[in-house]
Structure 1
Amino acid sequence: MDKRTHERKFVRTFFTTPTAVEGEDDSAKMLEGAAGLSGMEAPDVWVPDNEDATAPNMRDEGAQNIIDVVSEYGPDYPGEIHPRVVWHRDSPSTRYQGFQRMLEITDPDNGAVEYIDGFVIPEVGDIDDWKKADEFFTIIENEHGLEEGSLKMSVIIESGAAELAMGKLRDEMGKPTNNLQRMFLLVDGEVDYTKDMRAITPTGGLPAWPELRHNTSRGASANGLIAVDGPYDDIRDVEGYRERMTENQAKGMLGIWSLTPGQVVEANTSPLPPQAGYWLLDADGREVKLEREDGVEVYSGNRVSLEETDDGYVLSVGSDDLEVSEEELQEELLDLLDYVPSLDDIVDSMEEFEAAKESGKGAIAMTQSATVEIDGVQVDVSRDRMWDEATYQALQTPITLFQDVYENRPDQHDDLAELYDEAVVERAMDVGN
């Protein structure tokens, strides 16, 4: 089951919207606004949220708003639509409410179901609870004459029981007694998870829970699903949001919850390769992007300094001073430098390796070189990296992501053509196939 079973291989953005806003003349105002988003502002998965984002006394109206808005805007909506309904592992009455609303939303006579891709189920517990939800999906499909398994099911990991259930999912999927192949997203819900774990921090803030994000990413990989991180509440902290996404991407979790259209734009673009490649310097524990000036990579901070002497060089990093020869300096700098490849760079490397394979070579050396300037002193550095089939497959992920976005989000074609050269886009769509 570790092979992706759905058309979408990646989900970058999971965007929730209240289904009914109390005190407004038009309670569906926010739904209508979200339904009109397109391009980089539109998420890969839009979640009309009839659970936490909507007051309990407004949820019946919210379900009707989902029907009205999705039936009107659904034909032109560029992403997938997955409403979130109420559910709770310890409350049969709550589960029944969620079932009834899903049943109403998916009624073909209401005109919305053909544009709804699935539902998001919160507050799940152990694997038996997941199977209860799946059974409701199957009942709904049979009640309305839909194909079994056609409605995708995503769950939010908000408890220790749900976290452990991810480890049992692989043994359950594919059994004739369930339709758990419908599973799509595993989404972290760190707020309720913190409550369930009875965790305490001195500031009252949320713990980082890196273990949860790792386990969710692992669970998704083991079961052919997609992992999505939970919400980042400080919507003004753009840098923090970017750092969180970078940490997640290193775990294989390329998707994240988005709370605003601005966060959607950040999350849609973050996993894509940059427009231009650039060098990073480890400046005493802080990564600094070097500025390219006339083909030279320039560091202008004060954490690293370089001085040329009669006998060689003095390289200072923080409080450490090193007297080195030119060759030793090159080695020291290479230890401090990393290169972030552009889409064009990745395509070039993959094309070069593919050509080498066709000529019968199993591995080739790829050279990265640059002229680095620190305190006016310029040093030429270069490194060779061996590429074999394993390297090629590992570095194919950003290209596969790009291809998945391009194929499934035609509304973003203009944005991608503006971000990259059209010729690069065409080559990226051809490479690796």
Structure 2
Amino acid sequence: MSVQRHYEREFVRTFFTSPTAVDGEDDSAKMLRSAGQLRGLQAPDVWVPDNEDATAPNMRDEGVENIVEVVSEHGGDFPGEIHPRVVWHRESPTTRYQGFQQMLEIADPENGAVEHIDGFVIPEVGDVDDWKKADEFLTIIEHEHGLSEGSLSMSVIVESGEAELAMGDLRDEMGKPSNTLERLFLLVDGEVDYTKDMRAMTPTGELPPWPELRHNTSRGASAAGLIAVDGPYDDIRDDEGYRERMTENRAKGMTGIWSLTPGQVVEANTAPLPPESGRWLLSVGDEDVELDAVDGRHVYDGDALSLEETGDGQFALEAGGDRLELTADELREELLDRTAYVPSMNDIVDSMEEFEAAKAAGKGAIAMTQSATLVVDGVTVEISKDRMWDEATYQASQTPVALFQDVYEHRPDQHDDLEAMYGEDVVERATAVGN
């Protein structure tokens, strides 16, 4: 079934939550007000004024007032989308009604905020019938306030086994005349409550990694034409762990991640973009080591792998306690197997442009060569590999460029940062290729 989407974004990198009211502050909306003024790489693609978990229950009425006030004042200039999170629970009619009342107040045109609000985030959903209840409430709100049907998008947080299974029902349910689930936008993982719902335990008390949930959410979003977002990474000082989590997610097709601080927003805004410069990796033991680029050569400067020339065109390569006696050709093949290249934005654009030119000339596939000069223990080895490019390769390589194009279109506040990162020429070519 083809689903008619009600929004333009193809990618979301950052999902940033802010408490709507903080007790004990002279200005309870202080953090909300600060978040509403973020710009450039510090500003998320989706800002979530959080009137649920991030805000104490006794402050939530004030939180609704703060959302209205701050979004009315700053929403017009905020560069990302704005999706407040309200209270909801699949097992509590009272909580669902409270969420309805919160959305009804926030979306009242007389309050001046709704013109800047793109939708709402619904937490703690259950099976697909529960999703339909939230959808119906949004339809009622739109009719009550004279808003266009479907103008308010709906994102859900997957925090239960029921919600995880419900993602498999979306393709059958979306588009039925009895609902407007086409308003769905984001599927967001909430691993903390999911762990509680699953009654899962670990020896240390830390959260399980839940790769299955992240895969299922990414698959559910792909099948229904939605966008998948990973949950919060709560060790806010572990930048390397945050990057590793995002790398794992992107391999599952999940570009977006929850951000808890402006620092995490910057990390998550930049990490999915193609790198500024390419780099060669060498497999050493269980890890890939980035080689140092020195005067056009790529140098391994470690102790886990050694190479020496033994005479008569023979070489000895030692790695992991194994010693290999190799000819020059065998050495090149061994290093080819151990190396990989991470292309830069310019590399990707170059390859796409070359394939587009070949296709225009009537060729269905072409070979592209990657070559490098490696230096290991002072021994220089020239390697090269050919890769066949056909239409499928071209389409796969287009994904990171499509992300860049989506960012460039929807985040003009980041244009200067992107041009500083890549250069004006690369940016111009990257916005044009593939179109």
How many Å apart are 1:74 and its aligned residue?
A: 0.7
Aligned equivalent of 2:317: 315
Aligned equivalent of 1:402: 404
Deviations, residues 313-338 of structure 1 (Å, cap 9, x unaligned):
11112212111111111111111111
Q: Residue type of the partner of 1:39?
A: G
Aligned equivalent of 1:301: 302
Deviations, residues 48-78 of structure 1 (Å, cap 9, x unaligned):
0000000000000000000000000011000
C-alpha distance in 1 between matches for 2:137 and 2:306: 64
Aligned equivalent of 2:83: 82
Aligned equivalent of 1:417: 419
**Percent of aligned pairs with the same amino acid:** 76
Instruction: Name the SS of the counterpart of 2:85 in structure 1.
Output: coil
Taking the TM superposition and a 5 Å limit, the aligned residue runs for 1:366-385 are 366-385=368-387
2:114 is equivalent to residue 113 of structure 1? yes
Are the counterparts in 2 of residues 4 and 225 from structure 1 also a CA contact under 8 Å? no
Aligned equivalent of 1:18: 19
C-alpha distance in 1 between matches for 2:430 and 2:311: 49
Are the counterparts in 1 of residues 249 and 255 from structure 2 also a CA contact under 8 Å? yes
How many Å apart are 1:26 and its aligned residue?
A: 0.1
Instruction: Name the SS of the counterpart of 1:175 in structure 2.
Output: coil
Taking the TM superposition and a 5 Å limit, the aligned residue runs for 1:240-251 are 240-251=241-252
Q: Residue type of the partner of 1:425?
A: V
Instruction: Name the SS of the counterpart of 1:200 in structure 2.
Output: coil
Deviations, residues 245-269 of structure 1 (Å, cap 9, x unaligned):
0000000000000000000000000
How many Å apart are 1:301 and its aligned residue?
A: 1.0
1:339 to 338, 341, 347: 341
Are the counterparts in 1 of residues 3 and 182 from structure 2 also a CA contact under 8 Å? no
Are the counterparts in 2 of residues 372 and 381 from structure 1 also a CA contact under 8 Å? yes
How many Å apart are 1:287 and its aligned residue?
A: 1.2
Taking the TM superposition and a 5 Å limit, the aligned residue runs for 1:9-158 are 9-158=10-159
C-alpha distance in 1 between matches for 2:254 and 2:275: 18
Aligned equivalent of 1:261: 262
Deviations, residues 112-151 of structure 1 (Å, cap 9, x unaligned):
0000000000000000000000000000000000011110
> Greater CA deviation, 47-56 or 311-320?
311-320
Deviations, residues 221-244 of structure 1 (Å, cap 9, x unaligned):
000000000000000000000000
Q: Residue type of the partner of 1:105?
A: I
Task: Give aligned pairs, total.
Answer: 433
Are the counterparts in 1 of residues 4 and 182 from structure 2 also a CA contact under 8 Å? no
Q: Residue type of the partner of 1:196?
A: D
Aligned equivalent of 1:188: 189
Give the direction of change, closer, same or farther, for the CA distance of 1:222–1:360 in structure 2 (3 Å limit): same
Instruction: Name the SS of the counterpart of 2:323 in structure 1.
Output: strand
Instruction: Name the SS of the counterpart of 1:395 in structure 2.
Output: helix
How many Å apart are 1:2 and its aligned residue?
A: 6.6
Q: Residue type of the partner of 1:403?
A: Q
C-alpha distance in 1 between matches for 2:295 and 2:363: 36
Q: Residue type of the partner of 2:316?
A: V
C-alpha distance in 2 between matches for 1:409 and 1:279: 31
How many Å apart are 1:283 and its aligned residue?
A: 1.1
Instruction: Name the SS of the counterpart of 1:60 in structure 2.
Output: helix
Are the counterparts in 2 of residues 2 and 221 from structure 1 also a CA contact under 8 Å? no
Aligned equivalent of 2:393: 391
C-alpha distance in 2 between matches for 1:323 and 1:198: 54
Are the counterparts in 2 of residues 48 and 83 from structure 1 also a CA contact under 8 Å? yes
- Provide structure 1 residue ranges, at least 5 long, that are not aligned to the other structure: none
Deviations, residues 290-346 of structure 1 (Å, cap 9, x unaligned):
110000001101111111111411111221211111111111111111100000000
C-alpha distance in 2 between matches for 1:197 and 1:322: 49
Q: Residue type of the partner of 1:424?
A: V
Q: Residue type of the partner of 1:116?
A: I
C-alpha distance in 1 between matches for 2:189 and 2:106: 25
C-alpha distance in 1 between matches for 2:305 and 2:123: 49
Q: Residue type of the partner of 1:329?
A: L
C-alpha distance in 2 between matches for 1:105 and 1:259: 23
C-alpha distance in 2 between matches for 1:46 and 1:8: 14
C-alpha distance in 1 between matches for 2:282 and 2:4: 37
Instruction: Name the SS of the counterpart of 1:233 in structure 2.
Output: coil
> Greater CA deviation, 2-11 or 229-238?
2-11
Instruction: Name the SS of the counterpart of 1:75 in structure 2.
Output: coil
Q: Residue type of the partner of 1:25?
A: D
Q: Residue type of the partner of 2:218?
A: S
Deviations, residues 208-232 of structure 1 (Å, cap 9, x unaligned):
1000000000000000000000000
Aligned equivalent of 2:288: 287
C-alpha distance in 2 between matches for 1:69 and 1:207: 36
Give the direction of change, closer, same or farther, for the CA distance of 1:383–1:4 in structure 2 (3 Å limit): farther
Instruction: Name the SS of the counterpart of 2:99 in structure 1.
Output: helix
1:328 to 310, 313, 330: 330
Instruction: Name the SS of the counterpart of 1:365 in structure 2.
Output: strand
Are the counterparts in 1 of residues 39 and 79 from structure 2 also a CA contact under 8 Å? yes
How many Å apart are 1:104 and its aligned residue?
A: 0.1
Aligned equivalent of 2:360: 358
Q: Structure 1 segments of 4 or more deviating over 6 A?
A: none
Instruction: Name the SS of the counterpart of 2:76 in structure 1.
Output: helix
How many Å apart are 1:3 and its aligned residue?
A: 6.5
Instruction: Name the SS of the counterpart of 1:138 in structure 2.
Output: helix
Are the counterparts in 1 of residues 22 and 29 from structure 2 also a CA contact under 8 Å? yes
C-alpha distance in 2 between matches for 1:321 and 1:263: 44
Instruction: Name the SS of the counterpart of 1:76 in structure 2.
Output: coil
C-alpha distance in 1 between matches for 2:412 and 2:2: 27
